[in-house]
Amino acid sequence: GDSVTQMEGPVTLSEEAFLTINCTYTATGYPSLFWYVQYPGEGLQLLLKATKADDKGSNKGFEATYRKETTSFHLEKGSVQVSDSAVYFCALGDYGGSQGNLIFGKGTKLSVKP
Amino acid sequence: EPEVTQTPSHQVTQMGQEVILRCVPISNHLYFYWYRQILGQKVEFLVSFYNNEISEKSEIFDDQFSVERPDGSNFTLKIRSTKLEDSAMYFCARRRRSTDTQYFGPGTRLTVL
């Protein structure tokens, strides 16, 4: 079945460092790909998404490109801030033959130090 | 991003008791989902609901679980006889027909003692 694999955390960075969180997926169809963020004590917020190959999602300085050839959707940010400290979840949703329940990775906890 | 509301924010219950978790709908959202997140683990799909019927459910969603949308109002998840392992954060999500994006509520933290 479909699955998502994320790099293990936690990740600790200094402010203004470059961030990459790796995400790869396995899917039989043509899923949409998402990054959700969970700040401490809060629910899941959509960070960005991409719906087809070569699409780039971006929001709040974060970017991820849907790479079909490598089945990847890595999250990047050029300069992280303390306020980016959160847990980041990669997810896929395949709406081809279903209602599109999301399949999540295990999450990567990011801590940014001043 | 559409606001999604869930009640209660935190529920503490004794093992074997019934609990009902509620999600407040937005009128133009047709698809509803419940997910759960056991502490420190990944978010897992439980069930999807469309047009007042379950459309998909996971292996986790056994006979102890049920969902309904009484009177077209709140979307509820009921756990009939809670177990210790049901302790988790439960998230409701909604989606419009025209998009693939699911919007999540803030969650209900369920603690089973």
Quote the DSSP letter at residue A81.
-
Nearest CA in chain B to A35: B101
Contacts of A96 in chain B (CB under 8 A): none
Contacts of A32 in chain B (CB under 8 A): 100
Among A45, A95, A104, the residue with its CB nearest the CB of B43 is A104
Measured distance CA(B88)–CA(B107) in Å, rounded? 10
Contact between A101 and B33 using a beta-carbon 8 Å cutoff: yes
Quote the DSSP letter at residue A67.
B
Measured distance CA(B77)–CA(B85) in Å, rounded? 16
Nearest CA-CA partner of B1 in B103, B107, B77: B103
Task: Give the residue-averaged pLDDT of B33-60.
Answer: 90
> How many C-beta neighbours within 10 Å does residue B73 have?
10
- A-B contacts at Cβ under 8 angstroms: 62
Cβ(A83)–Cβ(A109) under 8 Å?
no
Cα dihedral: B57, B60, B62, B68 (round 10): -50
Q: Bridge partners of A37?
A: A45, A88
Better-predicted residue by pLDDT, A35 or B99? A35
Nearest CA in chain B to A4: B42
pLDDT higher than threshold 60 for residue B54: yes
Residue with structure tokens 């959707």?
A: A73
Q: Supply the pLDDT for residue A97.
A: 58
Task: Give the residue-averaged pLDDT of B50-59.
Answer: 87
**pLDDT tens-digit series, residues A22-55:** 999 999 888 999 999 999 888 899 999 999 999 9
Q: Bridge partners of B108?
A: B90
B43 touches chain A (CB under 8 A): yes
Cβ(A72)–Cβ(A23) under 8 Å?
yes
Question: Which of B102, B108, B109 is most worth mutating to test chain A (most A CB atoms within 10 A of its CB)?
Answer: B102
Min distance A101 CA to chain B CA atoms (Å): 7
CB burial readout A74-109, b (16+ within 10 A) else e: bbebeebeeebbbbbbbbbbbbeeebbbbbbbbbbb
Quote the DSSP letter at residue A112.
E
Task: From first to last of the 114 residues of chain A, give the pLDDT tens digit.
Answer: 889 999 888 999 999 999 999 999 999 888 999 999 999 888 899 999 999 999 999 999 999 999 999 999 999 999 999 999 999 999 999 776 566 789 999 999 999 999
pLDDT higher than threshold 60 for residue B1: no
Measured distance CA(B108)–CA(B89) in Å, rounded? 6
